[in-house]
Amino acid sequence: MKKIIAAAVATAFVAPAFAADVTISGDVEYVLTSQGSVTSGTTGDADFKIAATEDLGNGMSVMAYIDFDSDYNASTASSPQSRPSKMEISGSFGTIEIGNDTGEAIGEFDEVADVAEAGAGTTLSDGHAQDIGIGFKPNLGVEGLSLAVSFAAGSSTEDTTATSIAVQYEVSGVKVAYGTIDKEVSSGTVENPTVLSVSTSMGPVYVGYENISNQGGIDGDDFMALGITYDYGNGKLFFESNEYKDKDATTLDNETTAYGVSYKLGAVNTYVSVIDSKTNLVEADSATKVGVEYAF
């Protein structure tokens, strides 16, 4: 009996052949904004992510995570499973992913011009609210060529699905990408958004440009952005310009320019950003943002 108990105790402390590696990561960010006569404070980010990775054998692995994001609102979420989460299975074939945090393919290679700290411009809106997404990134075996395809479904109260595809090719340090999405709705019509982006790095200088057509699935609503950074070692100088064209003036045309500097203290990033904005040709007071961020 003693031998049986000893063997059971020893087994409990022996790691199985296929044990998951669990990691915790996250970030916190706080921002002070001065605009006109008003000074305000906001929490930019405050979340952490629990991820598990496990070897499946035969060159395959699985990874899954749950993101405890500060943007998550338990009072409006349909269930605890509404927290951002995703599972990935990878192998020589590429990567398959599924979850409510699985991005649609159109957004796989965008935001190349999103270089300003604290955010400054318009982000891609593909006009589709997904509950579950399935994505596939195949290993094409062609140097510099990347492909992403996805399928997403909405909730039972919103009968919509969306299929999306995006491709990127990199040659001589220049990345060119294109993506589109096709949304099927139970009623009405939606235009298919498209994204075209180009980016490159030349030593310490980075330049990114993107163009979004039919933003939010609205015909004629277009967005253009240009981002430039200079890496001086302990941080970056950044400049970003955004222009949004609203065809029917439902949200009005707007232009945003942001510039500033960041400085890193080890894992802590600090920055100052000045944002100038104009809506329907009416210029707003410049906003100065001072922020500190720690990612772990």
Task: Kindly give, in sequence order, each residue whose CB lies less than 8 Å from that of residue 33, ignoring residues fewer than 6 positions away.
Answer: 39, 40, 41, 42, 287, 288, 289
Question: Rounded to an integer, what distance in angstroms lies between the CA atom of residue 78 and that of residue 65?
Answer: 19
Question: Can you give the pLDDT at residue 6?
Answer: 40
10 pLDDT band (50/70/90 cuts)?
very low
Which range among 135-149, 206-220, 256-270 shows the weakest confidence by mean pLDDT? 206-220
The reported pLDDT for the residue numbered 41 is: 94
The Cα-based distances of 112 to 77, 228, 285 in angstroms read 31, 10, 27
pLDDT > 70 in the chain, percent: 81
Can you give the pLDDT at residue 262?
97
At 220, phi and psi to the nearest 5?
90, -5
pLDDT given for residue 159 in this prediction = 57
Average of per-residue pLDDT across 9-33 = 74
pLDDT band at 155 (very low <50, low <70, confident <90, very high): low
Residue 118's pLDDT band, with cuts at 50, 70 and 90, is confident
State the pLDDT at residue 254.
82
pLDDT at 19 over 50: yes
CA angle (180 as vertex; 188, 147 as ends), nearest 5: 145
Domains of the chain (ranges, CATH numbers): 26-295 (2.40.160.10)
Confidence of residue 69 (pLDDT cuts 50, 70, 90): confident
Mean per-residue pLDDT for 115-119?
88
Output the CA torsion 63→64→70→76 (10° steps): 150
